Structure 1
Amino acid sequence: MTSTATHRTSLAAAAFLVVLQPILGQDASPPDPLPEAAKTEATSTAEALTKLQERHESGDGPFVEMDELNFLIRPGGGGSCASAAGLIVLQAGRALLGRDAYERPHMGVLGAFQDQPTLLNGRVTNNEFVDLLEFYERHLGGGGFSTETLSAPNSPHAQDGNVWTAGQPPPIAVREGQLQVLSYTVTTAEGDVLGRHFVILKAVDGNRLDVLDPAHPKRKTVFVLEDGDNGCGRMYLRLPPEVLAKDSVSAYLKGLVNELNTVFTITVEDAAPPRAPELGDLKRRIDETAEELRAEGKLTDPRAWRKAGAAYGLPGLDLPGELGGSGWSASEVLPVFRHAGRHNLNLRDVVGGAHARALLNSDEKVAQEVVRETACGEAYVAITITEEGFGTDYTSMTTKSKKVDGGYVLSGEKRWNARLREATDVVGITKASSGEVGKLSVFLLERETPGLTVKDFAAHGLTGNSYGGLVLDDVFVPSDRLLGVDGEGKDVFTKHFLYWRLMQVAAAIGCGDRALEQMAERMKERKYRGAPLARMTHLQQQLAQSTTELAMAYSLAKDAAELLDEGKYDEAAPLINGLKAEGVEAALRAADFAMRAHGALGYSTEVDLGDRVRDLMGLRIADGTTDAMRSAVVADVYGSEFWWAAFPRNPQEITD
């Protein structure tokens, strides 16, 4: 069982260390958790940095200190100051844009190391630092960094030719909407070069520079800028006289020579995430992306789609505008799912926020941050409900949640879940902490949370995502990751899946539509005994029947979408559950008919009809099987006694 001390551990920090400890072979204790971030209403760079520094000093921890990272740097690489400084720039940039601090700083640094493994070598170059800032742009929540570098004439880092003029000091200043990072070379009194260090400029008073040092972000640090008096443009950052006069400062530190080598001027640019274009243009962009990713062999890769689609707002299509989305209604987004399904049914996962929409049941900043990252194409959320012993019957769920100090501990095993390998975050549904049968709770989990283990299984269809299960071994989840109210997760589950099932039906209809179009083309082109297949009326009959079935299903889907937009979930339920059954079955019949009518060609990989049949067979099971959905329709329309007639007892009568 996890200890109480571990319960209070920052989830991001713990994940950061658990991932890296096997590589490093070190036993390190993660830092304290990050409490809820206060809204930063900074009006200046100095104010933004001061408020962040005060928060860090009080234990709120928006930064990752160098001491937490230095042990990751390979021998001979110096320290991790560039990586720690880059994170400070990110947090200050968010503050200047009026946004809360990034809630997952440790995971942010880990992501940077994964994106730029060379950072672990230390000795970061100017270009590598600029690349690091470009990586952190994705966590700004909209907007970006524009970085200019200016180096000393004698600096080995001035590879781009941007140097300041000898005899003229570099333009060091704190300006509105800008941040400056100063990099300086550290040399001992004996002439040994230790490396370069990075600090963030807070304020300028004459030649006195107030900076934020990533090595000691809780400490006030001041340098005096001095000219080298040699006419070569060399500038030094000296310790101020009051520091040199202190006996507590060692002779070694007093003897260090800090020579300024580069000034990074970073302009923080605000920009709303791309909003989706009009429907016609959006379909065109989807078609273009499909062709590009097909050529790269990534047509069914959901992460590749989300990254590419972010340029025109696709992953944020149905997410709220205040969280970076476009705020499209169910009625507006329905035809987009249908169009995506025409290319491939796996594209059911690339339109809108998908399972990140479940996070809209939380007002907590950590959930909102994941929604923002989803809208930007960075985050991807999986969901786990089913277990080996149950599917639709959630009253048989065995995965448990236990209330503890500061959060919950989850234990159990989920199975038959998609997206777990690709996901950055997971929505996990468990029994409520009360243990009552039929009472559920819903949690947001980071995929790399300690205690989570992903299992892999093979699936016949819908292979764009992984397929497997999730083991929860006493997983601690902070209270702010509870979605909704403990014990009231059924409402979260029901409303989320009514929306999700409807959109899956739309994608299935699109998949069937395109299969019928291929069939019609084949009937006109393929000759049999000297005449086209189109002359065979039995094929025409089936083509007409499937075309009509899909058109009727889509008409009903539009009615259901309107009910969801009006908040009439109870009225929408029998319609959506019925569509999940009959709409998917109609699409499957259409694709199967098209494949069979193509003969041997239809069974080959020369056409995609076999894939469509296989994927639709998967969807008739996923997210509510056809049989279960039909039973749900009967219960919704004619009364729950029809449902419970199939069971020995009402769930309210069942006890543990």
Structure 2
Amino acid sequence: MYSPEFCAVLDRYPALNEFTSRVVDFLDRHLPEPVTQEAAQPPWLRLRECAAQAGLTGFDLACATVVPDGLERVAQGLAMFLAGRRDCDAREIFSSGHAAMALRYGAPDIVRSVRDLVVNRGALAGVASSEPHSGSDLRGLRTVAVDHGDHLLLSGTKGLVSRVEEATGFVVFCKVVGPEQAAVLDPGGAALRQVPLSALWLSMDTVGVLTETAAPLGLRGWSLGHLHFDNVRLGKDSLLGDPGDGRRIFDTHFSGWRLMMALVCLGAATAAIEETMARTRRRSVGRMSLANVPSVASRLGTAAAEVQAATAWCFSLLERDRQDGDEVDVAACSAAKALATDASYRAVDIGLQLHGSDGYTCHTPMEKRLRDIRGLRIADGPNDTLYSVLAHSLLTGSRPSPFLVAQRQG
């Protein structure tokens, strides 16, 4: 039913069997079959609220007793893989998501508020980093929070951003500047490139926050669009960490989050391969089973090998974070997300092809998976950029470890 790599993780960490069973039981009850585009779409936010009631929204931050200490990140990866088997939009059902940044780095009042909303009630948090002109170039961000001593005034535009309509709040990445510096900023933002990145928590009911939605190609379970900030007044306690801590917060959080999105796609790809194998056994070409056609078997075998290898790498990186206590390997996590989403896309594309004309309709989950995974090859950093992060670290010798795959303890 599940990939060998998924089962191997459970063999190494039997203490997570009960947690995994709870996630599967939840999905079986609320999302029993993979989602197709033509079917009524699940009430995604309501499902997250149900997950909160089941204690499945705070386990990644030791906010619940369902996961043993030290296994939070591995458990989050297992939950994301299982969610992806039902639908890529199910990625938001479990764990604290992007609220983890507010819970880890926020002031006490922010932590209490976010914990109550996101962990206890199942509200959703978003992240606002990319901007229309800069994409994944964090140094090029032009959203500014002007420091007036006792408060900040936030101005700028973020987009395209997921969860613009559903999120109760956003972690916003911006540049904190003084009034004098803000008064002389050039329209192109060249001077801002030298200002270190900061992060803050922004509640969506704050005056001056405007939303604008857009229609995405895939990942339609959650809204997509722009956030506009018009001199939004915020207290200084809205900052996460200290001014200038934004890049550290971003790299630490997104290294793990990229692995989670990778595992969502790998779960979807594994389900697609299983469905395709079952179909090829049932269908025939003349007197020969489709599964016995060499070219068909070869393509399915290639897809399975790539998906299994990517799954093993992603879980290896999560286990390294637990076992070794090393600094986050940003480069490896970035490349693993790119490899996993590329492999997943190819696997679903093969599955769609081998379903014939049925695969190109909305009554199988293949076409929705293809659109969704295509979006996740862009989200959180486009894959070309993520591969280049690994290449740069190898070329400059800046990798913290020579191992691409963590060495497991004997």
Which category of TM-score, normalised to the shorter sequence, fits these structures?
Answer: 0.7 to 0.9
- Check if 1:290 corresponds to 2:49: no
Alignment partner, residue 317 of structure 2:
560
Alignment partner, residue 146 of structure 2:
402
Taking the TM superposition and a 5 Å limit, the aligned residue runs for 1:99-498 are: 277-291=18-32, 297-299=40-42, 301-321=43-63, 328-359=71-102, 360-433=104-177, 435=192, 437=194, 439-498=196-255
What's the offset of the Cα at 1:282?
2.5
Residue deviations 1:240-264 (CA, integer Å, cap 9, x gap):
xxxxxxxxxxxxxxxxxxxxxxxxx
What's the offset of the Cα at 1:428?
0.8
What's the offset of the Cα at 1:342?
0.3
Maintained 8 Å contact 1:342/1:510: yes
Alignment partner, residue 182 of structure 2:
none
Q: What is the DSSP-based 3-state SS (H/G/I as helix, E as strand, rest coil) of the residue aligned with 2:98?
A: helix
Residues of 1 paired with 2:33 and 2:349: CA distance?
28
Distance 1:527 1:324, change over 3 A: closer
Residues of 2 paired with 1:627 and 1:364: CA distance?
38
Q: What is the DSSP-based 3-state SS (H/G/I as helix, E as strand, rest coil) of the residue aligned with 2:177?
A: coil
Q: What is the DSSP-based 3-state SS (H/G/I as helix, E as strand, rest coil) of the residue aligned with 2:94?
A: coil
Q: What is the aligned-residue identity percentage?
A: 25
Q: TM-score, length-normalised on structure 2? A: 0.84
Residues of 2 paired with 1:534 and 1:293: CA distance?
23
Higher relative contact order (CA 8 A, sep 6+): 2
What's the offset of the Cα at 1:321?
2.7
Alignment partner, residue 534 of structure 1:
291
Distance 1:330 1:636, change over 3 A: same
Distance 1:292 1:447, change over 3 A: farther
Higher helix fraction (1 or 2): 2
Distance 1:556 1:292, change over 3 A: closer
Q: TM-score, length-normalised on structure 1? A: 0.53
Residue deviations 1:282-341 (CA, integer Å, cap 9, x gap):
322222221399799343x43112111123212122123389998652122211111110
Unmatched runs of 5 consecutive residues or more in structure 1: 1-274, 642-656
Which one-letter code corresponds to 1:321 in the other structure? C
Which one-letter code corresponds to 1:427 in the other structure? V
What's the offset of the Cα at 1:448?
1.6
Which one-letter code corresponds to 2:337 in the other structure? K
Maintained 8 Å contact 1:330/1:561: yes
Give the alignment partner of residue 305 of structure 2, picking from 534, 542, 548.
548
Q: Which 4+ residue blocks in structure 1 deviate beyond 6 angstroms?
A: 292-296, 322-327
Distance 1:433 1:368, change over 3 A: farther
How many residue pairs match? The answer is 365
RMSD over aligned Cα atoms: 2.5
Which one-letter code corresponds to 2:395 in the other structure? Y
Q: What is the DSSP-based 3-state SS (H/G/I as helix, E as strand, rest coil) of the residue aligned with 1:524?
A: helix
Which one-letter code corresponds to 1:569 in the other structure? E
Residues of 1 paired with 2:300 and 2:25: CA distance?
27
Unmatched runs of 5 consecutive residues or more in structure 2: 1-15, 179-191, 399-410
